Amino acid sequence: MKKKPSLYLIDGSAYIFRAFYGVKHHLSNSKGTPTNALYGFTSMLMKVVREEKPDYLAVVFDSKEKTFRHDLYPEYKANRGEPPEDLKSQFPLFEPLVNSFNIVCLRQDGYEADDIIGTLAVRGEKEGMRVVIVSGDKDMMQLISPDVVMLDTMKEKTIGE
C-alpha cells in the first residue's frame, strides 16, 4: 500500500510565543535588536523539518487585524495584555524568516491561525493526505481523525495515532 503524503501545518503564532518564553537568556543582534524568539522559533522549525521530513509544510500565522470573532463578541480575548516590547520588535521578522527557508507562510486578514489550520486540515484529509497539526493548542484536538493527528513538540508526543 502506498504511503500517504504528509502535510504539516505549524501554528506559527503559538510557536512564536513558545520560542520567546522558552529561550531563557537574552539574545540580540549586533544592533541590539532582541533575537531570542527568532532563534527559538528557527530551532523548533528546523527540528520539525529535520526529524519529521514532511512532504508538504506550511507555517500559519494569526491575522494582524482583529478577527471576525471580535465583531461577534467585542470582549473576545479582551483580557490578554500586550506582548512584551522585546517580542513585539521581532514580529515583523518571522514571515521573512520562514520564506527564507522556502517554506510556505500563510496569513489571512480576519482569521486566526487556528481557523486556517482547521480549513487546511479538512481539505488535506479530503485530498488523501496524512495531516499533522503542529501545535500545543488543545482546541485543535477536535480536528483529530484517522488521517489528522496533532504533534506537540514541547511534550514530544503525537496525539491521535
d(CA 83, CA 121): 29
Mean pLDDT computed over every residue of the chain? 90
Q: For 78-101, b where at least 16 C-beta lie within 10 A, e where not — what string?
A: eeeeeeeeebebbeeebeebbeee
Class of residue 9 by CB neighbours under 10 A (exposed 0-12, middle 13-18, buried 19+): buried
Domains of the chain in start order, with CATH, are 6-159 (3.40.50.1010)
Q: For 15-31, b where at least 16 C-beta lie within 10 A, e where not — what string?
A: bbbbbbebbeeeeeeee
Encode pLDDT of 95-143 as tens digits.
999 999 999 999 999 899 999 999 999 999 999 999 999 998 888 999 9
Q: In the chain, count of helices (H) and strands (E)?
A: 6, 6
Query: Model pTM?
Result: 0.91
Residue 76 pLDDT > 60: no
